[in-house]
Structure 1
Amino acid sequence: MVNLNQALPYVGVTPFQLISALAILIVGYVIARAVVGAFKRALRKTKLPPLVVEFLGRFLAIGLYLIVLIVALGAVGISVSPVILGLSAVVGLILGFGLQDTLTNLAAGVWLAALRPVDIGEVVEVAGKTGKVNNIGLMGTELLMPDNKLITIPNKLVWGSVITNYTRMPTRRVDVDIGVAYGTDLDRAIKLAMDLMRGHPKVLNEPEPSVVITALADSSINLQLRAWAKTEDYWAVKGDLTRGIYELYTREGIEIPFPQLDVHLKNE
């Protein structure tokens, strides 16, 4: 009959200790899974985004599995103090060197998921790139570029950059710049531009469109048409107004100058 308290040869561990360690691993794993599942279900009832819930759940699972492993090692007679010290040293080295950028990206990913300065489907400019947000992951944010290229920007660059969100607001102001020649009847030029904007079906009445003089340039008086439109109509309105003001001024005899350089040759 096998003596459960007699140490096995070459191992120095009793069968009872092995059985206890195995039972701890199995029961601990089941309990850890149940605790993590309950933790996630509780978080899902809050207003936290799913990304944050999954992120916190994974960290809790790793911590619980490490605790179960340490308890199992203690059950077979292994001193856990050196193990804990060793793990602490390894984790410290990893955090200090290998995973420094990784943890920074993870932390930035949590903030992005929690505060949502950008969201999936929005068009944003971040880290010098402009595109539609395709996905926000734990490590990086995917942008779909206008030419259908998919790029991934590390979350630390997204969180650490100025973010311009082009589609978050329901309306946008459409600015169209155009120059008229010196000597032009500005009142007439402004009235024509105002009539053009007010006659466009996608230009909003509120806020009211306007025309402002932006500069007295070298070759022209620069005007800017400012019209408000729904965000989804922005590019259609901008294209229509840009073409429309050019054709209108040409038809009405208002000169749209271009930069010129007069060169005078002096004969000695």
Structure 2
Amino acid sequence: MITTLPTPDPAELGERGRLTISDGTVERIAARAVTEIDGVGCTAEVTAKVSGGVATLHVRLSVSYPASVGRTTENARAHLMRRVEELAGLAVPCGHHRHRTARRGQRNQEGPVKRRPRRSTPATLTAVVLLAACAFVAVIAIQMILEQTPWVSYQSVADAVHNTHWNDLVPAIAGGGAALLGFILLLTAILPGKRTVLPLEGELDSGASRCSYRSTLRAAASAVDGVSGAKLKLKGRKAVVKVSTDRTNTDGIADAVRDAISHRLDQITPVIRPDVKVKVHAARSAS
């Protein structure tokens, strides 16, 4: 016997329920998809927010050396968008990220990377001096309230200040020192200082620390045949390399070092490419 079931009303089908994908599910899908990308290291942090049919991803990942950070992050974004849509059916907005790398002639208005020094040393010294002065005054005030002999007599200080004139040498020296200290602190607060993180090319915000940037360029110079040692300094838009060699004939060493560093810069892809200047120090002839 064949039984024909009635066709359900489409309105009833809409009331039976719907499929909801949680944030954690999308995070696990994206974390798995990150491992499928060439050049990505072993560490990655993914957070996701699902709203309707759209998933917003925030991904922090490491890039294996010497892969290009800019190209790797762009490939990662495109791959994550495609895989999340395939596996979860959710759209990831194209180019949805808060921070962008500073281009030539532009300033990065916001970003998680602190590209300038925090000026922690002068700030700490200033805070310590002010704290010591406040503690000293507070101790003297407490001693006077308790009718104990203070470390510094208020009467002696008042008499010394009363007998001092503005045209004396001591006020001039003290005022000049205070003005100089204030001017130095003002310059420290205003001037930006050297970059601590150098921006790399790519739409996503990425950068290399100044120390790592210098180390990888120095390693490239040291790997050149005939080079026994290398030192590198970053000076503005220049990279000054000093290499030493045990050879007495230094022909071609400077060009080889320059080519090696240029090749490494092509892999790193910095926004501001420095001009490379090479100095070669050869061993003295045994004769």
Q: Find the structure with the greater CA-based Rg.
A: 1
Fold similarity call, TM over 0.5: no
* Greater helix fraction, Structure 1 or Structure 2: 1
Return the TM-score normalized by structure 2. 0.22
